[in-house]
Amino acid sequence: MTMTYRGTTALITGASSGLGAEYARQWAQRGADLVLVARRRERLEELAERLEREHRVRARTLPADLGRPGAATELRAELDALGVSVQTLVNNAGFGSHGPLADQEPARVAEMVQLNVMAVTELTRAFLPDLLADGRGALVNIASAAAYHSTPAMAVYGATKAYVLSFTEAVGYEARGSSLRVLAVSPGPVRTEFFDVVGTRDAAVGAMATPEQVVTATRRALERRTTPPSIVVGLGNRLSAAAATLSPRRVALAVSGRVLKA
């Protein structure tokens, strides 16, 4: 079935570009009002103006750095003050880095864990009671195909995404008696600014997907009568995830190390 989100509001993090902007576009196309969160105010406002004009929805912008401790709690408080209720939460914000852990800046590692793990956890906890009570929307957390592998040269990133996958599947099981759809989405490499932040294309393993392909796969999974707890986007990524599960961990680790040029 094709779902409509008219009469609901979707909160999307990392919405200034890439996957976040595409989630905003496809949800607005189906009638959802939006709360767009990212650090770059100008980009958020440009996106919000365009989506309001093209789809006749309300798009609020809340610039915030979710890599800062306490930002998720402040975001919930700000929405409460505005009287905005949220029916769909898309935890998309995140980043990675490439290289041996010993060479990583400790502050950058801490920021990655804060954004990829703590912000996802805190935002999910902050909004989950309302999402469950309403039941018209969805909880979507962006994991990664890297969640299915140990990832030398991207040790922290892969581990954070493994957390997102496990966390979301568990929350989905807890929510099984409700009408809320809960989904972890694990894409492989996507044509976004992600690799500009990483600083190398060595981490781009497999065929590149477009943001539209990933978000469309998300939406179709949510539209199925029985929502799976998680999806891996792309046939090659699904095969790789299955192979990693079936292979001895030492073998899978060695393959990942060679592929990621660790």
Q: What is the domain count for the chain?
A: 1
Residue 103 domain-assigned (yes or no): yes
Q: What is the pLDDT of residue 202?
A: 58
Residue 1 domain-assigned (yes or no): no
> Which of 5, 157, 163, 173 is an active site residue?
157
157 is catalytic: yes
pLDDT exceeds 80 at position 257: no
**Bridge partners, 9 (sequence order):** 33
Residue 126 domain-assigned (yes or no): yes
Residue 164 domain-assigned (yes or no): yes
Residue 130 domain-assigned (yes or no): yes
Residue 3 domain-assigned (yes or no): no
Residue 200 domain-assigned (yes or no): yes
Mean pLDDT is lowest, of 7-11, 102-106, 151-155, 222-226, for: 222-226
Residue 209 domain-assigned (yes or no): yes
Query: By residue range, what is the domain housing residue 221?
Result: 9-259
pLDDT exceeds 70 at position 252: no
Q: What is the pLDDT of residues 31-63, one digit of tens each?
A: 999 999 999 999 999 999 999 999 999 999 999
CATH number at residue 163: 3.40.50.720
